Amino acid sequence: MTTTVNEFAPPTDATKMTELYVRAMNAGDVEAVLGLYTEDAVSVWDPEKPISGAEHEQAVREFMAKKPAMSATVKESYVTGDTALLVVDWKFDIEGEESLSGTGLDVLRKGPDGRWRYAVDNPFGDS
């Protein structure tokens, strides 16, 4: 399902990022999810192998093809200048697979457009 870009425009309030990410993920809108990351974002889905660029994009596309249902709650948020840190409890349910869950550490960067995007996405920041 594809929706309008404006519905999933990166937020001007860093504390709204998790809510927006969950909505974009649950809508199955791959482009919207990818648009919430900076161009040089790093994802640490595997602590042994952080990914970025085309590799990150492909991983998002493959994961979203499984049609995951996501829920998340922000536990802590800290914003200073153009940088924010979010501590997030999250869960993914995927039909026919074991649920995934964890506590993530997300570093956001405010762009020149005044909108926040993920610079570091570490879903297993508590491990």
Is there a domain that residue 1 lies in? no
8-20 mean pLDDT: 96
What total number of domains does the chain contain?
Answer: 1
Is there a domain that residue 87 lies in? yes
Does position 38 have pLDDT exceeding 60, yes or no?
Answer: yes
Is there a domain that residue 127 lies in? no
101 vs 54: CA distance, rounded Å: 25
Q: Which domain holds residue 98?
A: 6-122
52 torsion bin: left (phi>0), alpha (psi -120 to 50), beta (else)? beta
Instruction: Name the band, by pLDDT with cuts 50, 70 and 90, for residue 125.
Output: confident
Is there a domain that residue 76 lies in? yes
Instruction: Name the band, by pLDDT with cuts 50, 70 and 90, for residue 126.
Output: confident
Provide the CATH number for the domain around residue 44. Answer: 3.10.450.50
pLDDT at residue 6, as a whole number:
80
